[in-house]
Structure 1
C-alpha cells in the first residue's frame, strides 16, 4: 500500500487524537467517584437493612404490647366484676370464698402481666432509639451517595466536553485520508489500541521495541510513499527525520 509521506504523517495527528480519546475513556472508567459510589451504595444497603430490622422488631414489640394491654384490661375487668359480685347481697360463704380466691389469682396474674408489659415497653423504647439512630445513619449515607454521584456527574460532564472536542478534531483528519489507508489504521487501532506510531531512533513508537538490522535495512530501501508496518505489533510506522535512518 502506498500513500504520500505527508498523508502518512497525518496519521500521527490522528493517532494523537485517538490516544487522547483513549485516555478520556480510561479516566471515565477510573473515576475515583465510581469507587466512592460503590462503597456508598453498599453502605446505604446495609443501613437500609438495619432500619428494616429495627422497624420489624418495633412492629413485633408493638403487637406484644397491644396483646399484653388487652390481657391486662381483661384481668382488670374480671377483677371489677368479681368485686361487684362479692359486694352484692345474697352471696353465700362458699361463693364469697371462691370469688376471693379468684381475686387473689387475678391479682397475681395482673402483676405478672404488668411486669411483662413494662419489660416489653422498655424493650420497645430501646428499639425506637436504635431505629432513630439507624434512620439518621441512613440519611447520612444517602447524602454521601448523593454527593459522590454529583461529583461523578460533574466529572463525567467535563469528560463529555473533552471527548466531544477531540471527536470534532478527528473528523477532518479522517476525512482527508484515503479509505484503504484508514481501514488499515482502524484495524490496527482495534487490535493494538494504536493505529499508527512514529518510528523514532529506530524504535517503534507503539511497542517501543528497537527494530533489528534486517528490518531497518528494508525500511531504508523502501520508497518514501510505501506504508510500512512493524512486524512485531502490526502498527503503521511513520517515517520522519526523527526515525534515525
Structure 2
C-alpha cells in the first residue's frame, strides 16, 4: 500500500487521539466513585434490612405488650371485684371467705408476674427502638454519602464527556485527511493489536512494542520509497518514518 508521508504522519496523531479516547473510556469504567457507590449500595441494603428487622421486632413486641397489659388489667379488675366483695362483708361463709382471700393472693401474685412480663417487654422494645433509631441514622448517613459521591461521579463523568467530545472532534478532523484505504488499514490493525495501530520508528526501535528492528528489516525500510506504508513484522503495527528513525 502507498500513501504520502504526510498522510502517514497523520496516523501518529490519530493514534495519539485514539490512545486518549481509550484512556478516557478506561477512566470512565474505573472511576473510584463507581466502586464507592457500589459499596454504599451494599451498606444501604444492609441498613434497610436492619430497619426492617427492627420494625418487625417492634411490631411483634407491641402486640405482645398490648396482650400482656390486657391480661394485667383483667387480673386487676378481678382483684378489685373480689376485694369489693370482702370489703362489703357480703361473704359470711368461713370456707367461702378463705377461698376468696386465697384467690386474691393468687391473683396478686399473677398480677406481679404479668407486670414483670410487661416490664421485660418494655425493656426489649426500648432496645429494639434503639437499634431501629441507629439504623435510621445510618440510613441518613449513607444517603448523604451517596449524594456526595454521586455529585463527584457526575462531575467526573461530565469532565470525561467534555474531553471525549474534544478528542472525538479532533479525531474526525485528522481522519478526514487520511486516505480511505490507509484509514481502513489503520482501523483493522487497531482492532487486531488492541492498542496503538501506528507507531513511530525511533532510532531503529518500534515505539509501539519497544522492540528494535533487525538490520535486515531496517535495510528494507531504507530501500522502500517514502510513500510505501511499512509494517513491523514483530507486532504488525504501521511504522511511521521520521527524521528520528535512525535510517
Say yes or no: TM over 0.5. Answer: yes
2:157 is paired with a residue whose SS is helix
2:214 paired residue number: 212
1:143 paired residue number: 144
Deviation at 1:142, TM superposition (A): 1.6
Aligned partners of 1:177 and 1:151: how far apart in 2?
39
Gaps of 5+ in 2: none
Aligned partners of 2:189 and 2:146: how far apart in 1?
41
Aligned partners of 2:89 and 2:235: how far apart in 1?
111
2:211 is paired with a residue whose SS is coil
1:181 paired residue number: 182
1:57 paired residue number: 57
Deviation at 1:91, TM superposition (A): 5.5
Deviation at 1:201, TM superposition (A): 0.9
Deviation at 1:146, TM superposition (A): 1.4
TM-score w.r.t. the length of structure 1 is 0.93
Number of matched pairs? 245
1:1-245 residue pairs with structure 2 within 5 A?
A: 1-86=1-86, 87=88, 89=90, 92-192=93-193, 193-245=195-247
Aligned partners of 1:105 and 1:150: how far apart in 2?
67
Aligned partners of 1:90 and 1:128: how far apart in 2?
49
Check whether the contact 2:17–2:170 (CA below 8 A) recurs between aligned residues. Answer: yes
Deviation at 1:135, TM superposition (A): 1.1
Deviation at 1:3, TM superposition (A): 0.8
Check whether the contact 2:72–2:114 (CA below 8 A) recurs between aligned residues. Answer: yes
Deviation at 1:47, TM superposition (A): 2.2
TM-score w.r.t. the length of structure 2 is 0.92
Change (3 A) 1:18 1:226: same
Mean Cα displacement is larger for which, 35-44 or 77-86?
Answer: 77-86
Deviations 1:141-167 (A, max 9, x none): 221121111101100100001101111
Aligned-CA RMSD value = 1.7
Aligned partners of 1:153 and 1:91: how far apart in 2?
88
1:237 is paired with a residue whose SS is strand
Gaps of 5+ in 1: none
Deviation at 1:71, TM superposition (A): 1.0
